[in-house]
Amino acid sequence: MLPILLGLVLAMLFGLMSFFVYGLEGLVNYPWIDAVFWGLIVTGAAITLINQAGQCLVCKFHKLITIKPFERYCNDLACAK
pLDDT in tens, the chain (81 residues): 788 999 999 999 999 999 999 999 988 999 999 999 999 999 999 998 887 776 666 666 666 666 666 565 565 555 554
Q: Is the pTM of this model over 0.75?
A: no
**The one-letter amino acid at 72:** R
Report the pLDDT value the prediction gives residue 2, as an integer from 0 to 100: 87
Tell me the HSE value of 34 on the side-chain side, using a 13 A CA sphere.
Answer: 8
Q: Per the domain annotation, does 71 fall within a domain? A: no
Q: Per the domain annotation, does 27 fall within a domain? A: yes
Q: Per the domain annotation, does 73 fall within a domain? A: no
Note down the domain range covering 40. Answer: 2-54
Q: Per the domain annotation, does 7 fall within a domain? A: yes
| Cβ atoms < 10 Å from Cβ of 5 | 11
Report the pLDDT value the prediction gives residue 1, as an integer from 0 to 100: 77
Q: Per the domain annotation, does 50 fall within a domain? A: yes
Could you give the number of structural domains in the chain?
Answer: 1
Q: Per the domain annotation, does 20 fall within a domain? A: yes
Q: Per the domain annotation, does 67 fall within a domain? A: no
Report the pLDDT value the prediction gives residue 31, as an integer from 0 to 100: 94
Instruction: Give whole-number Cα distances, 76 to 20, 50, 59, 65, in Å.
Output: 46, 16, 7, 16
Q: Is 47 exposed, middle or buried (0-12, 13-18, 19+ CB in 10 A)?
A: middle
